[in-house]
Structure 1
């Protein structure tokens, strides 16, 4: 067992470096020419679910820090160093024409999920490792085949579940024996458990198996965005999510990530950053520099790859623009012990952990660490995007609203008139707004920006405070719902908070501050979850307007 465990560690390590490995021989019987449905196996191993782009060769112009943060920048040096030594590991020309034998794959998975087979732990581990090796070697099309076979053919057997249900109902009617009833319940529960559940359990026991499953679920989620009606795949993803939530308890370590952290860890920050793109090594160095912090949760089986991480800026006041945080600090050597605010401006997790609530625990742990390290910090606040605001606004600007603007936004007559005057021929402020945001170059006209500010901020506050997810009391905006469920207060809507292309495309540049008032977090959480009540801090006039429109749904601290 020890030998097989060491072999698995070496296998997964080489897989993640992008190299071929001797353990591929364990699953070689599955990769051969076949008349069965097949897919091509690529000669390079590259994970498709981690939002990783193919890297460019690093340009050595004397300023490496300005180069793009790509995987090849980290790997290329070591790949060149071991090129001669690892020539035996390189795939042969025949492997380019190799195909996946679906029949052999089906047989391998069946061997793993068959709980009644007479096989030992070593054999089970080797079979599970062979399955992982094969999956890692596949390209995107091959992984779709793999996941489709797993979710459709190794789900819950309907016949066995029906028979178990009938036996359970019969036992309830005919027997009063508690032991017999308990046995029937156990049989029914086992029959309702999908077969692939056993495969996930076996993989999780492998060294590095947890990280493999996180990446595999990332592939599931990516495929679900393409095949939205694939119910079996969605069911498999949901089951794996619940397993990951269970397995992750008690296995996470909080670590601060600095510029001196391993290069592979810093590389992951660029790969998984989904809010404010990391453009270069210099960019990430600024985010890890003076007055900045980055913390992450690491699984103990993968100590160099953060599962979830958060970026923090230490400032003298609540920040209203992310460009001011991401740019060069005005006083880079300013004492962090003079800062008054900790601004959480981006939180990210691996795609495969979508739906697993780690961000809540991470923020709470980081607040505790910062309070112990810097007691001068009094305010813990976010600078958050409104990722679906523009999509909502486009739907809200219906022909009816364009002709007859609703009166529940709270705009003054002067604010409406100022916006109408910016568009000759416009009869309503909604029509004027639609014309401006649909036109090119509206961000470069200062007069347009002045007229648009009160209108867009009012709409943003209304969207955050009053627009609910269908049939619920929860905020429609996913970021707002996340922070409000965590007990934060709606604090301020910021015009021109994110002037990047992505920020303008998603929210017309709006950002929002959510304030974590520490002695009110639990009460805020309870009121929001139970009643949909949104706690408000600060004195933002646009949020005050929205509160007047829906007074029963909000509360002032």
Structure 2
């Protein structure tokens, strides 16, 4: 019995990122007839030779003339490609996103001068252009994931990885801040539903509790049952 319990726990407690990667690979699918599905082929460590291909793909995601279906498919393929990368590859991916898709200082300066010198009747339009210039292209690129199944979860996990990586790569700090700002704009207390978890909750929910507990690791199902006893309260 102990062996069976241990196996169940080990199966239910992969790393959080690994769980996300496996899950999103299954649900992020593109139609088999989609001819662009196999165009983005990246090595797991994202070798320097992959950078140009990745930049071209990201540029394509940002094209204004893309219809909704094409934009979604390109975002799916970009996300799946990111999930296939190893730790080094994901670091290089994020560094490329940070360095190539930040704000354009010259464009901001031009828009500011246009707003500053605009006559009163054109000041509102010039102000809108100035505001838009302050949003880096990477923000628009990341926003596309919001329309995908569990795309917000993908971005939350990406930010978690950025929080660790920016200690080694300070140049990722602005990307992390952009992503934080984006997530804050989406989350609202009204979107949350608080539920109590107890031993009668679904097996799927209990497995998630085992997998996601990061402070005090849950050692076994008996350990979990004890934590959900009648004198304890657990909410999610």
TM-score (ref. length: structure 1): 0.35
Within the alignment, does 1:108 sit opposite 2:33 as a pair? no
Offset of residue 13 of structure 1: 9.0
Offset of residue 151 of structure 1: 1.0
1:153 to 100, 106, 114: 100
2:159 to 189, 205, 217: 217
Offset of residue 21 of structure 1: 8.2
Q: After superposition, what is the alpha-carbon deviation per residue over 1:335-388, rounded to whole angstroms, capped at 9, x for unaligned? A: xxxxxxxxxxxxxxxxxxxxxxxxxxxxxxxxxxxxxxxxxxxxxxxxxxxxxx
Secondary structure at the aligned position of 1:226 is classed as: coil
Counterpart contact for 2:25–2:80, Cα < 8 Å: no
Bigger radius of gyration among the two? 1
Matches within 5 A, 1:143-292: 143-171=90-118, 175-177=119-121, 180-227=122-169, 229-230=170-171, 233-249=172-188, 250-292=190-232
Counterpart contact for 1:156–1:195, Cα < 8 Å: yes
Offset of residue 268 of structure 1: 3.1
Within the alignment, does 1:133 sit opposite 2:73 as a pair? no
Q: After superposition, what is the alpha-carbon deviation per residue over 1:85-107, rounded to whole angstroms, capped at 9, x for unaligned? A: xxxxxxxxxxxxx9982222111
Count of residues paired in the alignment: 214
Distance 2:100 2:176 in 1: 15
1:16 to 20, 23, 35: 23
Q: After superposition, what is the alpha-carbon deviation per residue over 1:434-470, rounded to whole angstroms, capped at 9, x for unaligned? A: xxxxxxxxxxxxxxxxxxxxxxxxxxxxxxxxxxxxx
Distance 2:224 2:88 in 1: 33
Offset of residue 113 of structure 1: 2.4
Counterpart contact for 2:45–2:90, Cα < 8 Å: no
Offset of residue 181 of structure 1: 0.5
Counterpart contact for 1:40–1:142, Cα < 8 Å: yes
Offset of residue 261 of structure 1: 3.0
Offset of residue 278 of structure 1: 2.2
RMSD: 2.9
Distance 2:201 2:24 in 1: 18
Matches within 5 A, 1:445-460: none
Offset of residue 226 of structure 1: 2.6
Match of 1:494 in 2: none
Distance 2:166 2:31 in 1: 29
Distance 1:183 1:113 in 2: 22
Secondary structure at the aligned position of 1:129 is classed as: helix
Q: Which structure dedicates a bigger proportion of its chain to strand?
A: 1
Distance 2:100 2:225 in 1: 48
Offset of residue 202 of structure 1: 1.1
Distance 1:279 1:120 in 2: 49
Offset of residue 141 of structure 1: 0.8
Match of 2:7 in 1: none
Secondary structure at the aligned position of 1:104 is classed as: helix
CA gap 1:167/1:99 in 2 versus in 1, 3 angstroms: closer
Matches within 5 A, 1:10-409: 15-16=22-23, 23=30, 27-31=37-41, 39-40=44-45, 101-114=50-63, 117-171=64-118, 175-177=119-121, 180-227=122-169, 229-230=170-171, 233-249=172-188, 250-296=190-236
Secondary structure at the aligned position of 1:253 is classed as: coil
Higher relative contact order at CA 8 Å, sep ≥6: structure 1 or structure 2? Answer: 2
CA gap 1:21/1:131 in 2 versus in 1, 3 angstroms: closer
Counterpart contact for 2:21–2:83, Cα < 8 Å: no
Q: Which structure dedicates a bigger proportion of its chain to helix?
A: 2
Matches within 5 A, 1:421-500: none
Match of 1:55 in 2: none
Secondary structure at the aligned position of 1:256 is classed as: coil
Give the unaligned 5+ runs of structure 1: 1-11, 33-37, 42-97, 297-557
Distance 1:106 1:272 in 2: 34
